[in-house]
Chain A
Amino acid sequence: MKLTLALAQTNCVLGNVQKNLEKHLSIIHEASSRGADLLVFPELSLTGYVLQDLTPAVACRPRPDDPVFQPLLAASQKLDLVVGFVEEDVRNRFFIASAYLSRGEVLHVHRKVYLPTYGLFDEGRFFAWGDSLQAFDTPFGRVGMLICEDFWHASPPYLLWLDGADVFLFMSASPGRGLSDRPELGSARWVNHILRAYASLYTSFVAHANRVGFEDGLNFWGSSAVFDPNGDLIGEGPDFAEALTLVELDLNQLHRTRARLPLLRDERTALVQRELNRILSDQSNASGR
């Protein structure tokens, strides 16, 4: 089976959901006319990233009666969509979230579980922590979604892999930093290392949609990318510029790679569970907990 994946490498208007929604609908139209099956937007694509006190003003709920999601759900009749937004739950907590929409339904919502609150980041001040990591079934197989800092930690991709994800969709609004004499920023280099590593270690597809543009002095570096189960780069967007990048994923590559390299077959999950239980219950050693 083939999946034509489109990565929307977008800029957005900070805090203006209506304008960003209009841009989403126009890109959805373009991706659909170019034959995409699934279109992935970056982290917080409907709102912008450094929201601070704008957070409550831009929040919405991924439901058919929501004025932002109603047109997106309608558009998902043509192709599957992943959109980034601020989710307000029934108890009025705000989450950084991405929703997977398919054929008019919300198939899954992932709430960011790791909120960076250090250095230039202040997410923990404004957002609640997501508390769940689950893969889910789509028309193109089982998918796992993570948002930026989630995949800077090694465990969330691992858990999604064990939960059956063969296609990883990673969404970022990654501020560029770490200028040196190298041809790419330190942040870009680091992310592309680990994307390749996850694709290789989990013999899976890894797609990364990263935004572009500026917010005050922060730049967002783009370079959205897709790696195949061999860890090879099979498509990428430009750096720093808006783009809609289409990449064909031959899902049968999972079969071929895993026949050659049965890392999933041989993964000893019971051993992991036993050792994790031992480590976490060891009262004499609190290291790493």
Chain B
Amino acid sequence: MNASPDLSINTDLARRILTGFIKSEITRMGFTRAVINLSGGIDSALSCILAAEALGPENVLALRLPYKSSSPDSLEHARLVIDATGVRSLTIEITDMVDPLIAKFADMSQLRKANIMARMRMIVLYDQTAAFGGLAVGTGNKTEILLGYTTLYGDSACALNPIGDLYKTQVRQLSRAVGVPAAIIDKPPSADLWAGQTDEGELGYTYAEVDKLLYLLVDERYTPEECIEAGFAEGFVRSVVERVRRNQFKRVLPPVAKLSHRTIGYDFLYLRDWGT
């Protein structure tokens, strides 16, 4: 039993597969362009660089969508990526789209506000895909998808997701290899939905820790008991296992109630790439 599995990847190989994936899955749908929400964080920086490499920077539109409380660093870090890649960009503040809804409810929780912001960014993203004539490239990594650390129909909404099979630890490794600016790699990950928010503060553990555990549970098919035996704290293992289970709904399409012989989702089975 090894509580410290090696998550390192061959970054050249990952880069080739992921740029090939982006190019294939956009062009076969009849598009040549992509739109991406560039938050200033590492996940979207990596996805943007891969998209620019796959499609050419002139075919990628990066959106910066700050709210009034967003950190100025986020805007600046997104600009570093735009400048480094040469992608097109647009900055649209979402405050006056978000605030009227928030103003209707005096006691709105921070979580509700954060979800509204994430979903407003999704609305702007999808509107810009129509204006620019491209597809929305997602930025969710394997760690956050497994933990459900994402807003359903918000930041998780996309047409394709190149980095969804890479743990955060691996996102960091690939980001270093493809030249994501160091200021972005080195800062603590944050959804930047309120001041001082950090992922690791909210989750209660570091990505480095939870990635190792998730890798053993998911990729290596360890049982929770085997992970505890390997040296992970029991409370940590149980809470992560439960969190993964509880968030399964975010990883599947809503279930359709079966009535007929042939029901979408059960026995009407085609890839998205059907006929292309």
Contact = CB atoms under 8 A, between A and B. Distances in A.
A223 B181 CA distance: 34
A176 interface: yes
B275 A179 contact: no
Range, interface on chain A? 20 to 34
B165 to A, nearest CB: 8
A179 B6 CA distance: 12
Nearest to B22: A214
B274 interface: yes
Interface in B1-37: 6, 8-10, 12-14, 16-17, 20-21, 24-25
A16 B274 CA distance: 9
A240 B267 CA distance: 32
A213 interface: yes
Interface in B238-276: 267-276
Interface in B204-245: none
Interface residues of B, number: 24
Most chain B CB within a 10 A radius of its CB, from A50, A179, A183, A184: A179
A15 B6 CA distance: 39
A180 interface: yes
Contacts of A15: 274-275
B24 A179 contact: no
B273 A184 contact: no
A13 B24 CA distance: 12
Nearest to A176: B17
Interface string A50-84: 10111000000000000000000000000000000
Given A14-B275, A54-B270, A179 B13 contact: yes
Given A54-B270, A181-B6, A240-B20, A13 B275 contact: yes
Contact of B21 (A14, A50, A217): A217
Nearest to B11: A181
Contacts of B10: 179-183
Nearest to A219: B17
Given A179-B9, A181-B10, A214-B25, A14 B17 contact: no
A47 to B, nearest CB: 12
Most chain A CB within a 10 A radius of its CB, from B16, B24, B270, B271: B271
A53 B269 CA distance: 5
20 contacts: A14-B273, A14-B275, A14-B276, A15-B274, A15-B275, A16-B275, A53-B267, A53-B269, A54-B274, A176-B17, A179-B9, A180-B6, A183-B12, A185-B13, A214-B20, A215-B273, A216-B25, A216-B271, A216-B272, A216-B273
Interface of A: 13-16, 50, 52-54, 176, 179-185, 213-217, 219, 240
Lowest 7 CB-CB distances: which A-B pairs, in order? A52-B269, A214-B24, A181-B8, A216-B271, A53-B269, A50-B271, A14-B273
Interface of B: 6, 8-10, 12-14, 16-17, 20-21, 24-25, 165, 267-276
